[in-house]
Amino acid sequence: DGGITQSPKYLFRKEGQNVTLSCEQNLNHDAMYWYRQDPGQGLRLIYYSQIVNDFQKGDIAEGYSVSREKKESFPLTVTSAQKNPTAFYLCASSIASGSRYNEQFFGPGTRLTVL
């Protein structure tokens, strides 16, 4: 079955540690996205990538880093510079870039808690 997988579902880390969230898709989509969801707020875009080896900052990129070495993979690293990393992180993909006309498919999310 085609889809997006994120692992792990729950992740706990100590303050000051970097942590990498995994996102893999087998939909052959060119565009991939990382969003952050906090209680009472809408999802906010962290980073997106339109093509392999290219990515762009979203609205809240500070304290995060990404890579796109393969079409199917778009890992997100939450660095120690991120002031409030505890949140629910969602990965998404679409057949092409441009939220104008392309449906986005979402992964199940990773809930990160920093202790």
Partner 1 sequence: KNEVEQSPQNLTAQEGEFITINCSYSVGISALHWLQQHPGGGIVSLFMLSSGKKKHGRLIATINIQEKHSSLHITASHPRDSAVYICAVGATMYSGGGADGLTFGKGTHLIIQP
Residues that bind partner 1 (CB under 8 A): 31, 33, 35, 40-45, 48, 50, 56-59, 61, 88, 90, 92, 97-109, 111
What type of residue sits at position 77? Answer: T
CA atoms of 45 and 102, how far apart (whole Å): 16
**Nearer of residues 46 and 78 to partner 1, judged by Cβ:** 46
**Nearer of residues 16 and 76 to partner 1, judged by Cβ:** 76
CA atoms of 35 and 46, how far apart (whole Å): 5
Query: Closest separation between CB of residue 48 and partner 1, Å?
Result: 5
CA atoms of 58 and 1, how far apart (whole Å): 30
What type of residue sits at position 48? Answer: Y
Query: Closest separation between CB of residue 34 and partner 1, Å?
Result: 9
| Torsion sign across C-alpha atoms 57, 74, 87, 3 | positive
**Nearer of residues 50 and 79 to partner 1, judged by Cβ:** 50
Query: Closest separation between CB of residue 7 and partner 1, Å?
Result: 14
- Three-class SS of residue 93? strand
Q: What are phi and psi of 20, to 5 degrees?
A: -115, 130
Query: Closest separation between CB of residue 51 and partner 1, Å?
Result: 12
**Nearer of residues 19 and 32 to partner 1, judged by Cβ:** 32
